[in-house]
Amino acid sequence: MRLGHVIGKVTLSRQDPAYLGGRFLLVQPWNTAKYAKPAAPQPSDAGLVVYDALGAGVGSIVGFTEGSEASKPFTGPTPVDAYCAAIIDEVFHQPPK
Amino acid sequence: MLLARIDGVIVSTVCHPSMHGCRTVICQPLNEHGGAEGAPVLALDRHGAGQHQRVLVSTDGAAVRAHVGDEHSPLRNSVIAILDAAP
């Protein structure tokens, strides 16, 4: 699982039937510099679209998983490879000096 | 598996049910010299590893699903061992 900032939402006009009722978030993953200074704006590198079933809004920090594990929460086979597993309230990050 | 160091912890109340009751830690992958390498990843901790301890992080989703007892868990990383000696 990785952390990311929600910077937008994605609305699909035509979609795979397995996506019905799904929400999609545009997420910018945190890189190493962002962990050091979470408040500082991060230069925009590649964002990704994450399937969301928890109701995260723009600006919140989410923990998302990728790969085949991201399609496990669905009953049937679903083409999803990034799934929002948690909406993060607090991040305590203190690497050793 | 990843050789990593526990650098922090996250708090999340709204999350997938399989994460309830488990501690999610921020793991910083380490290289062979013990230095930080790459971006941190989050892992489920079931051994109570302390801050700045070196641990082994498994990236096997099936092991996490078996541990939390939920076949629909989206999680992948879990702390499976706490290291004693320095690499």
Q: What is the pLDDT of residues A53-96, one digit of tens each?
A: 999 999 999 999 999 999 999 988 899 999 999 999 999 999 88
Work out the minimum CA distance from A13 to partner chain B, whole angstroms: 26
The beta strand positions in A1-97, using DSSP E, are: 2-10, 23-29, 48-52, 61-66, 82-88, 90-93
Is the CB of residue A63 less than 8 Å away from at least one CB of chain B? yes
Q: What is the pLDDT of residues B12-44, one digit of tens each?
A: 999 999 999 889 999 999 998 888 998 999 999
Query: Residue A73, class by beta-carbon neighbours within 10 Å (0-12 exposed, 13-18 middle, 19+ buried)?
Result: buried
Burial B34-47 (b: 16+ CB within 10 A, else e): eebeebbbbbbbee
What is the value of pTM for the model shown?
Answer: 0.90
Work out the minimum CA distance from A11 to partner chain B, whole angstroms: 23
- Examine the predicted complex and report whether its ipTM is higher than 0.90: no
* CB spacing of B38 vs A32 below 8 angstroms: yes
- CA–CA distance, B55 with B25 (Å, rounded to integer): 11
Q: Taking CA atoms, what residue in A is nearest to B78?
A: A1
* CB spacing of A95 vs B36 below 8 angstroms: yes
* CB spacing of B75 vs A93 below 8 angstroms: no
